[in-house]
Structure 1
Amino acid sequence: MSLLNIVSSPRGAKSVSISVANAFLDAYGKATPSIEIDTLNVWDENLPDFDSQAIGAKYKGVSEEPMDSAELSIWIRIQSLVKRFQQADRIVVGVPMWNFGYPYKLKQLIDLVSQRNMLFTFDGERYGPMLKIPRALVIYVRGQSHDRGAGISSPGFKHQADYIDFWLKFIGVDEVKSLMVEHTWDAKGPETIEQGKARAIAMAADF
């Protein structure tokens, strides 16, 4: 069984999302010794820009038109990234909150791999998922929270999780589990981080 571990924080050992994900992966590895973990770190992958050449390749790929050498090079890279999703039986994503959203490199990965007839279908009227992944875990890490104590009433906190959950279901994940680790910037930080790791370890038993 293969698990795709998507790392979207550039902070390495200082990252809360990485440390909580690692706690989960360690526990899941012990519970499922046969698991193979494929770590896709969006900061280390040298992801191609989703620029005019990538968009040109996208449209030519859908219409099955010939590509020039630059477009073909990008398209092959996109296919190699997509294959890692296609080979996954489980997905884990660590998502630190950046300006009420997610790191731009994670969005870059989503834009690259979310291709018609690769991760989803579209017949002109309806979309359909192409993956068959039973479940994914998304670990959301936030410096504050949307509760009254943080003084935030905007929909930004909800927007972050709603988008990632929708995207995973859109491409074919049946069940998306979420783990929120909040208040990591204030005095509660050490306590909430340890609680997050404990919850991650507990969730590994049923994943």
Structure 2
Amino acid sequence: MRLLNIVSSPRGAQSASIAVANAFLDAYLKTSASIEVDTLNVWDENLPDFDSQAIGAKYKGVSKEPMDEAESSIWMRIQSLVKRFQEADRIVVGVPMWNFGYPYKLKQLIDLVSQRNMLFTFDGDAYGPMLKIPRALVICVRGQSHDKGAGVMSPGFTFQADYIDFWLKFIGVKEVETLLVEHTWDAKAQETVEQGKAQAAAMAAHF
């Protein structure tokens, strides 16, 4: 069993999303000795920019045209990242809310790996997923919440979770579980993070 653990917060030990994800992983590893965790920290991976060379490599890769040296190097890096998704049996993603969305480094990873005929197919009429992953856990951490005290209602507060849910199902995750941990930037922070860690650990039993 191989679990891909995607870390998208740069805050290390101060990160609520990392703390909750680690609580889940600690509990999950106790369920089986065969579980292997592959941690992909988007801040440590030195992800290539999705620039003109990467886009050029993308189009040439899809159409199977020859690439120059720079394009070939980027394409090989993209393939190595994609392989980590292809080898995964489960996925865990910790996602802090940044301006009602998610960290730009996470979007960079998504843009790099979401390649036609690698994580999804398109026949000119319809898209299809290429992965066969039974489930994923998305831990969405928010400094505030969508309640009246925040002053901002949906869809702003739902975009974070909705996009990641859509993307994971698009590439082939059958079931996406979302754990919301809110109020991590006010007086309730310690309490809500501890509650989130307890909830995450409990979810490990059936993951």
What amino acid does structure 2 have at the position aligned with 1:163? Y
**Residue aligning to 1:74:** 74
Return the alpha-carbon distance in structure 2 between the equivalents of residues 151 and 49 of structure 1. 36
**Residue aligning to 2:155:** 155
Return the alpha-carbon distance in structure 2 between the equivalents of residues 20 and 150 of structure 1. 23
SS at match of 1:31: coil
SS at match of 2:146: coil
**Residue aligning to 1:110:** 110
**1:1-207 superposed matches below 5 A:** 1-207=1-207
What amino acid does structure 2 have at the position aligned with 1:102? Y
Return the alpha-carbon distance in structure 2 between the equivalents of residues 189 and 11 of structure 1. 16
Structure 2 gaps, min length 5: none
Deviations 1:53-81 (A, max 9, x none): 00000000011100000000000000000
Return the alpha-carbon distance in structure 2 between the equivalents of residues 126 and 19 of structure 1. 39
Structure 1 gaps, min length 5: none
Q: By how many angstroms is 1:154 displaced? A: 4.2
What amino acid does structure 1 have at the position aligned with 2:58? K
Q: By how many angstroms is 1:147 displaced? A: 1.2
What amino acid does structure 2 have at the position aligned with 1:110? I
SS at match of 1:94: strand
Identity of aligned residues (%): 85
What's the RMSD between the two structures over aligned residues? 0.6
SS at match of 2:30: helix
SS at match of 1:38: strand
Q: By how many angstroms is 1:38 displaced? A: 0.1
What amino acid does structure 1 have at the position aligned with 2:23? A
Q: By how many angstroms is 1:33 displaced? A: 1.8
Deviations 1:23-78 (A, max 9, x none): 00000000122100000000000000000000000000011100000000000000
What amino acid does structure 2 have at the position aligned with 1:192? T
Return the alpha-carbon distance in structure 1 between the equivalents of residues 120 and 32 of structure 2. 29
Question: Which consecutive aligned stretches of 4+ in structure 1 deviate over 4 angstroms post-superposition?
Answer: none
Return the alpha-carbon distance in structure 1 between the equivalents of residues 199 and 81 of structure 2. 30
Q: How many positions carry a matched residue from both structures?
A: 207
